[in-house]
Structure 1
Amino acid sequence: MRKCVISVAIVAALASSTASAEPATPAEATANRTFNEDGDIGAYAPSVTRQAGTFHGQKIRYTTTAGRIPITGPDGSIDAQVFYVAYTKDGVPPGQRPIIFLTNGGPGAATAWLHMGGVGPRKIVLNADGSVPPPPARLMDNTDSPLDRADLVFIDAPGTGFSRVANEQTKARLYSRDGDLQAYAAFIQNYLRSNNRFGSPMYLWGESYGAFRVAGLSDVLVRQGIPLKGVILLSSALDFHVTEPGMTNDLPYQLLLPSYASVAAFHGLLPGLKDDDAMRREVEDWSLNVYGPALAKGSRLGGEERAKIVAGLVRYTGLEASVIEMHNLRIEVPEFMKYLHAARRLVTGRVDGRLLGPAPEARVEEPFYDPAMGALTPAFSSATSQYLLEELRVDIPVPYRMYSRDVATRFALAGPARYGQLGYPETLGALQSTFVKDSNFRILSMQGLYDLATPFASMEFALDHMPVPHDYLANIVHVRLPAGHMAYDDAAALKQMNQAVVSFLDSAK
């Protein structure tokens, strides 16, 4: 069983890198260099190196380009410089090889999570169960990367990573749903034009809010005349109606329950129930056919029927009946995190419910603490900086932002509702628009069983409710991974994730 709090499994030896960086050209002095971090939109020469690696048993030589592409505003001035790292296989004519544009979410997170977690050719070394070894962070070759199947371009959203925006007015424009999508579309247009890649089969890959982003981006690009082969959605939420409960919206409670049961069963807290697919089918059936109709009665639910619902929730969550009653049969994620292991004074992880940890006592700066993220963030930050500066020789004199609270806060406050949109934010409609316009367009959706941030049942429910012709459903591939939100942290899940991507790419028409 996966150890909680602190793992005792430590990687004994690191695989030596097969990648040997060779500078393609000498570093050049760059114009407009500035050390003002917030307004640093100066031009820097891209860093180009050449490497070789083995992926899925195939050795290839590839070129790595790390640099920034300017995004211009309505008046033609530079709104932002967007940082990217591109991996392209050597010896293949432009346009003849698939290309995948990848982004993380947050909003406010850099794409180092996907890049260094398990999709790029080099990755951070983690313990097999996804926990973090003692510092310093180490790197290793990632033989599971899909680089043998497609070129990869990792994009940091404006304000994250090494991407920077011009000024406060630019932030107001770009840190919104529509501004964000237009910036990404402009970046992709510029990249395709500069690298003669308009003929390449093209995919978008997003994680978390990045999946929300690429669903909307798919519609923007198609309307601009750029065809897509498909999208890859990891740990996704495309319609917040199914994840954000309200006084008259009980659906998220129903869709969370299978994830609660998976986490509780993993920890051995559900007597008579195993952490397996049969258990999840039982919970999903009860949640939709028994729990949902009961919640729909609102305050009219009472007596024996209410008692049966409480008993069912005890059976499937591992929580005490008193806790369930206290929260009116509606358990939100913070309550589940707090109470599941309350007797042990441990908090359950949000992005990975398998991980537990004690809560910091001084919580003024951490009002919502997630033990699954406590050690991961500094480890990924250190590994990313080490890789970009030492191996890729990137020379941009600002800190690499793994997460920007400014970006996240402005997205949350943009417009009359979150993400600048009335009602529940969603890009499911944009994805449906893209989907129905091309019968060959395909969707790969991968969700973690122990992810409480974007529950797997929520995403499956959302995609099941896209109005599309019945025969189009064969173009949607669902994969449940034995993982949390960052599926690549777990060694076994990483292999499954990348194999699902390889299969998805190989089966394209």
Structure 2
Amino acid sequence: MNFTLRHFCIHLSILCSIAFAHSQQVSVPLDTLINTSHTVQIKGKSIPYTATTGFQPVWNDQGNPIASLFYTYYKRSDLKNDENRPLLISFNGGPGSASVWMHIAYTGPRILKIDSEGFPIQPYGIKDNPNSVLDVADIVFVNPVNTGYSRMIPDKDGKMPEKKVFFGVNADIEYLSEWVNTFVTRNNRWRSPKYLIGESYGTTRVSGLALALQQKQWMYLNGVILVSPTEIGFEFDGPIEVANRLPYYTAAAWYHKKLPPALQQKDLLEVLPKAEQYTIHTLIPALVKGGTLAEKDRKLIIASMAYYSGISKTVIDQHNLEVPKAFFWKELLRSDQGYTVGRLDSRYKGMDVKEAGERPDYNSELTAWLHAFTPAINYYIGEELKFKTDLKYNMFGPVHPWDRSNNNSGEALRSAMTMNPNLHTMIQSGYFDGATTYFNAKYVMWQLNANRKLGERLDFKGYRSGHMMYLRNEDLIQANQDIRDFIVKSSKKIQSGSKY
């Protein structure tokens, strides 16, 4: 082959390779939807609905798209008008977590195939959710940037937006409030009663959104639901943070039958108030004293902490009364069974390579959950909702570094509630959640009610499970019913006007 022909063949090969690579590039849909029709049996009644799945852009100040968010919108289809039909806008947490968890395990019309306690079973798959709140509210599940299929969009020169536009407490709230405004406008839902529900970090998100929507979008909400809430910006460090761990330790120890007989023979809801009262009235004041705590008082505190936690006086003493949660997860079952317990749901057991150590090697509950959720959501979106894409569904997406500065989301929710007499808040927590504990959730609720005038608009609901309390079937039934009751309660006075 002469040089000219060889050069031409090489050049042609390169062009073909470039063309092939370009044709194989995974694209992010900017603004596209797929609609499907379905029916589900809820509380014994047949509920027809449409599922709209796709992407809606995020715009910058110049009106150019900088991201496209993937969402799924369920709307009941047998109603003539939706002016009084509640709209539930759902976010998960992380930050960096997709909306998959509450979507296919809690409020949506289709849920995971799991056992009655929430443990994964095979073959993995999806089934109808007879407890979905779709009978009383339409639902949209939103995936923030880099979660699910949501992604940033490059400009005309191929340059990506700056990460700081999306990845931070306040940046997240700002762009999502704009996105929600667009969604509500496009779907003609301005007249509808509106509710936000967020889980874990999603509670920080929806707490901040409550005020952002009110002040910047002039959109007033009827309710905010905080599922397994974070501190939402309220600071409780030092003795309070340390002491607040104890009621959760009591719950986890009770579940694994590690409490003394006097406590173990009682029901969980008889035991927890005792641990809570001890924490508030005795443990916090004792820890405030630090090294000045009298020796005899210190020994009494150590004995009581052991009594309520199921771990030994020795290790409590060795930790100077400040037992880290990670150590507790490693320690609780170490002496007799050698298992660890889960962080997000301490009903789950794990097995480490070594029984020795300060913390578990992995999160046993999260590993179990990913077994079931990952195949289910990928199958469901592609095969049942008919949305086909080569994008990877990010169960947990790259959103770090996350700017956590100036987190005033709790103050924002409190302000929104004081300015909007019709805004109610409900907290839902699992007693066996070791990441965002139920007692910290109560503490958050107490801080929200600092002026002692919001009490009738605040509700706390506890469940005998963990972070995702809805995985346990008994709690799935009750938690969804609690949402129904919350919607009814928060709507009672709306007809009498927004006033005090």
- TM-score of the aligned structures, taking structure 1 as reference length: 0.86
Shift in Å, 1:238:
3.4
2:281 to 270, 282, 289: 289
Alpha carbons of structure 1 residues 348 and 242: separation in structure 2 relative to 1, 3 Å:
farther
Equivalent-residue separation in structure 2 for 1:394 and 1:360 (angstroms):
42
Q: Does 1:504 align with 2:486?
A: yes
Shift in Å, 1:455:
0.9
Contact 1:324 1:330 in 2 (8 A): yes
Contact 2:91 2:202 in 1 (8 A): yes
Q: Does 1:346 align with 2:339?
A: yes
Paired residue secondary structure (2:104): helix
Equivalent-residue separation in structure 2 for 1:34 and 1:203 (angstroms):
42
Equivalent-residue separation in structure 1 for 2:474 and 2:437 (angstroms):
20
Q: Which residue of 2 aligns with 1:47?
A: 34
Q: Which residue of 1 aligns with 2:422?
A: 440
Equivalent-residue separation in structure 2 for 1:220 and 1:34 (angstroms):
41
Q: Which residue of 2 aligns with 1:257?
A: 246
Contact 2:152 2:161 in 1 (8 A): no
Equivalent-residue separation in structure 1 for 2:274 and 2:347 (angstroms):
21
1:143 to 130, 136, 153: 130
1:263-412 alignment to 2 at 5 Å?
A: 263-271=252-260, 272-273=262-263, 274-343=266-335, 344-359=337-352, 369-404=362-397, 406-407=398-399, 409-411=400-402
Contact 1:106 1:208 in 2 (8 A): yes
2:110 to 99, 122, 125: 122
Which segment drifts farther, 274-283 or 264-273? 274-283
Q: Does 1:154 align with 2:141?
A: yes
> RMSD across aligned C-alpha pairs, in angstroms?
2.0
Alpha carbons of structure 1 residues 461 and 34: separation in structure 2 relative to 1, 3 Å:
farther
Equivalent-residue separation in structure 2 for 1:360 and 1:213 (angstroms):
37
Paired residue secondary structure (1:287): helix
Identity of aligned residues (%): 29
Q: Which residue of 1 aligns with 2:17?
A: none
Q: Which residue of 1 aligns with 2:224?
A: 231
Q: Does 1:427 align with 2:395?
A: no
State the Cα deviation string for residues 237-268 of structure 1 (Å, max 9, x = none): 1345556x4xxx12112222111101101111
Letter in 1 for 2:322: R
Unaligned segments of structure 2, at least 5 residues: 1-21, 155-159, 493-500
Equivalent-residue separation in structure 1 for 2:242 and 2:24 (angstroms):
48
Q: Which residue of 1 aligns with 2:56?
A: 69
State the Cα deviation string for residues 326-364 of structure 1 (Å, max 9, x = none): 211011210110111112221111111111110257xxx
Equivalent-residue separation in structure 1 for 2:95 and 2:258 (angstroms):
34
2:181 to 189, 206, 211: 189
Alpha carbons of structure 1 residues 34 and 81: separation in structure 2 relative to 1, 3 Å:
farther
Equivalent-residue separation in structure 2 for 1:381 and 1:348 (angstroms):
22
Paired residue secondary structure (2:367): coil
Contact 2:426 2:459 in 1 (8 A): yes
Paired residue secondary structure (2:101): helix
Unaligned segments of structure 1, at least 5 residues: 1-32
Equivalent-residue separation in structure 2 for 1:469 and 1:330 (angstroms):
31
Runs of 4+ in 1 over 3 A off after TM superposition: 33-37, 167-170, 238-243, 467-471
Q: Which residue of 2 aligns with 1:449?
A: 431
Larger Rg belongs to: 2
Equivalent-residue separation in structure 2 for 1:295 and 1:348 (angstroms):
26
State the Cα deviation string for residues 172-191 of structure 1 (Å, max 9, x = none): 21011111111211111111
Alpha carbons of structure 1 residues 263 and 467: separation in structure 2 relative to 1, 3 Å:
closer
1:57 to 21, 44, 53: 44
Paired residue secondary structure (1:54): strand
Equivalent-residue separation in structure 2 for 1:35 and 1:181 (angstroms):
34
1:200 to 181, 189, 192: 192
State the Cα deviation string for residues 379-399 of structure 1 (Å, max 9, x = none): 101100010000000123201
Q: Which residue of 2 aligns with 1:164?
A: 151
Shift in Å, 1:467:
4.7
Letter in 1 for 2:207: A
Count residues with an aligned counterpart: 456
- TM-score of the aligned structures, taking structure 2 as reference length: 0.87
Paired residue secondary structure (1:433): helix
Equivalent-residue separation in structure 1 for 2:24 and 2:411 (angstroms):
42
Alpha carbons of structure 1 residues 207 and 360: separation in structure 2 relative to 1, 3 Å:
farther
Equivalent-residue separation in structure 2 for 1:169 and 1:99 (angstroms):
31
Letter in 1 for 2:405: G
Shift in Å, 1:302:
3.8
Contact 2:329 2:360 in 1 (8 A): no
Letter in 2 for 1:477: D
Alpha carbons of structure 1 residues 438 and 164: separation in structure 2 relative to 1, 3 Å:
same
Shift in Å, 1:96:
3.1
